[in-house]
């Protein structure tokens, strides 16, 4: 099975056009929002995609009030009894960096020099900080103007799935079984599958939400959230000796006890960490939120025990101080579930190889919608979308990745027919 040059060129053109259009739609999610989806702008992109899927002739099209988009592509003639598969990408972008008014820039025929940003003279994109750039010399590279993120996470995945749908309609010689397409809101804030309709998805799915070309991710962090609330006692600072329990000051000391070597900025590969996300409050009360990550559950349990012991120590050290410590298990390592569905992994590897890429098995230092779906009983490996340096103003993607990820989707669909 080999995708023709004509189809490859069409995929690149279509996926690129869509990507450049989709990233301009502001879909930043908001972890502080109680609504679902967390931001209304995600509904705008979902509506556009739903209408485009209808125009392409996909069936059972749904765009629900929570922002999810579902649609089914009928199988090629003679392949009605083939096992259905699904392809999933998320609509939102990270709130870490602004995703409003994204203006994508194509750097033609990248020559290996530093890439500069017209709207942010203080930063540049270099091979030193992203070594993969050296492999992309001679390719076209897309970035933002430096004042926003680009949105390749996950508009690239959205564009690649849509381009594959176009090609299936335009080139009927490409065989496939029943295909389900699903786009989800709020993945970046951990809510991507919270209101998903599991019954509308097939038994096997793939997310297009990975990074480097060739990557296949079948393992992720075991993930916990921690909330630490300190209740102190405020007294006028002029008369506070031996009386005041300054909650936010004590919280700062408490958090300084976390091992610096176990923070995101000092860890890589399979090393876990504590990550302080927020600290707010005053003398009377302070609250800190953390995430705790590792590939091994026992390592996270050790970190939580460490926090429990710190709580006891600080309540002894500061009589009258009350500390509430709560943990939430956010998601499990998806490998626990995926290793039971080896065929889904093996066919993904073969699909990547057929696209002319080296398979790069990678462990996700984070999670995806596929993490929770696998836990819900729908094994969902994660395939590359092609972007790099996600969630930053230096985020980029080679245009070739848009084509190659689309090829992998098409290859996978045909492989499942055998």
* Predicted pLDDT of residue 366: 85
Say whether 371 sits in a helix, a strand or coil. Answer: helix
- Mean pLDDT computed over 228-234: 97
pLDDT digits (tens, 9 = 90+) for 271-284: 999 999 999 999 99
Say whether 394 sits in a helix, a strand or coil. Answer: coil
Q: Which are the contacts of 276, defined by CB distance < 8 A and separation ≥ 6?
A: 255, 258, 288, 289, 290
DSSP secondary structure string for all residues of 372-385 = HHHHTT----EEE-
Computed over every residue of the chain, the mean pLDDT equals 96
Active site annotation includes 92: yes
pLDDT digits (tens, 9 = 90+) for 109-157: 999 999 999 999 999 999 999 999 999 999 999 999 999 999 999 999 9
Q: What is the CA radius of gyration of the chain?
A: 23
Active-site pick, 92, 219, 294, 414: 92
Indicate the helix (H) or strand (E) that contains 173. Answer: none
Q: Which are the contacts of 327, defined by CB distance < 8 A and separation ≥ 6?
A: 224, 225, 226, 292, 304
Sketch out the chain's domains with CATH numbers: 5-220+333-415 (3.40.630.10), 222-331 (3.30.70.360)
* Predicted pLDDT of residue 368: 86
* Predicted pLDDT of residue 312: 98
Active-site pick, 14, 187, 212, 217: 187
- Mean pLDDT computed over 77-102: 96
* Predicted pLDDT of residue 190: 87
Share of the chain above pLDDT 90, in %: 96
- Alpha-carbon distance of 289 to 302, in angstroms, equals 18
Lowest mean pLDDT among 38-42, 260-264, 363-367: 363-367
Lowest mean pLDDT among 140-149, 304-313, 369-378: 369-378
- Alpha-carbon distance of 73 to 53, in angstroms, equals 9
Active site annotation includes 260: no
Note the pTM of the prediction, 2 decimals: 0.89
HSE toward the beta carbon, residue 163, CA cutoff 13 A: 34
Say whether 5 sits in a helix, a strand or coil. Answer: helix
pLDDT digits (tens, 9 = 90+) for 399-409: 999 999 999 99
- Alpha-carbon distance of 95 to 391, in angstroms, equals 8
- Residue 111 CA, chain-centre distance (Å), reads 29
Check pLDDT > 80 for residue 1: no
Of 129, 198, 158, 146, nearest to 374 (Cα)?
Answer: 198
Pairing mode, strands 85-90 and 179-184? parallel
pLDDT category of residue 238 using cuts at 50, 70 and 90: very high
- Alpha-carbon distance of 332 to 374, in angstroms, equals 9
HSE toward the beta carbon, residue 181, CA cutoff 13 A: 33
Burial class (CB in 10 A: 0-12, 13-18, 19+), 65: exposed
């Amino acid at each position: 099975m080999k995708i023709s040059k004509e189809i490859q060129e069409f995929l690149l053109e279509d996926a690129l056009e869509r990507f450049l259009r989709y990233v301009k739609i502001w879909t930043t999610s908001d972890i502080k929002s109680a609504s679902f989806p967390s931001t209304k702008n995600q509904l705008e992109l979902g509506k556009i995609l739903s209408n485009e899927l209808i125009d392409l002739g996909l069936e059972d099209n749904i765009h629900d009030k929570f922002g999810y988009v579902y649609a089914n592509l009928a199988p090629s003639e003679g392949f009605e009894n083939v096992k259905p598969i699904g392809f999933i990408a998320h609509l939102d972008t990270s709130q870490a960096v602004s995703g409003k008014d994204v203006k994508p820039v194509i750097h033609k025929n990248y020559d290996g020099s530093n890439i500069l940003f017209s709207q942010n003279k203080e930063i540049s994109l270099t091979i030193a900080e992203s070594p993969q750039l050296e492999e992309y010399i001679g390719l076209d590279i897309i970035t933002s103007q430096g004042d926003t993120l680009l949105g390749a996470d996950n508009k690239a995945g959205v564009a690649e799935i849509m381009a594959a749908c176009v090609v299936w309609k335009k080139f009927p010689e490409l065989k496939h079984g029943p295909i389900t397409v699903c786009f989800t809101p709020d993945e970046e804030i951990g809510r991507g599958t919270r209101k998903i309709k599991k019954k509308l998805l097939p038994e096997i799915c793939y997310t297009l939400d990975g990074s480097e070309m060739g990557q296949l991710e079948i393992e992720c962090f075991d993930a916990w959230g921690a909330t630490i609330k300190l209740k102190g006692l405020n007294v006028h600072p002029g008369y506070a000796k031996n009386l005041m329990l300054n909650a936010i000051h004590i919280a700062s000391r408490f958090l300084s006890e976390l091992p610096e070597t176990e923070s995101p900025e000092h860890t890589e590969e399979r090393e876990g960490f504590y990550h302080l996300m927020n600290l707010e409050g005053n003398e009377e009360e302070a609250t800190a939120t953390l995430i705790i990550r590792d590939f091994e559950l026992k390592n996270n349990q050790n970190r939580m025990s460490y926090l429990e012991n710190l709580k006891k120590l600080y309540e002894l050290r500061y009589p009258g101080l009350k500390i509430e410590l709560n943990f939430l298990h956010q998601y499990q390592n998806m490998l626990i579930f995926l290793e039971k569905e080896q065929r889904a992994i093996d066919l993904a590897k073969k699909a990547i190889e057929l696209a002319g890429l080296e398979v790069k098995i990678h462990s996700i230092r984070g999670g995806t919608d596929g993490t929770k779906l696998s836990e819900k009983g729908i094994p969902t490996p994660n395939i590359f979308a092609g972007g790099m340096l996600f969630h930053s103003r230096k985020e980029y993607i080679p245009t070739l990745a848009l084509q190659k990820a689309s090829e992998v989707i098409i290859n996978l669909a045909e492989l499942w027919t055998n």
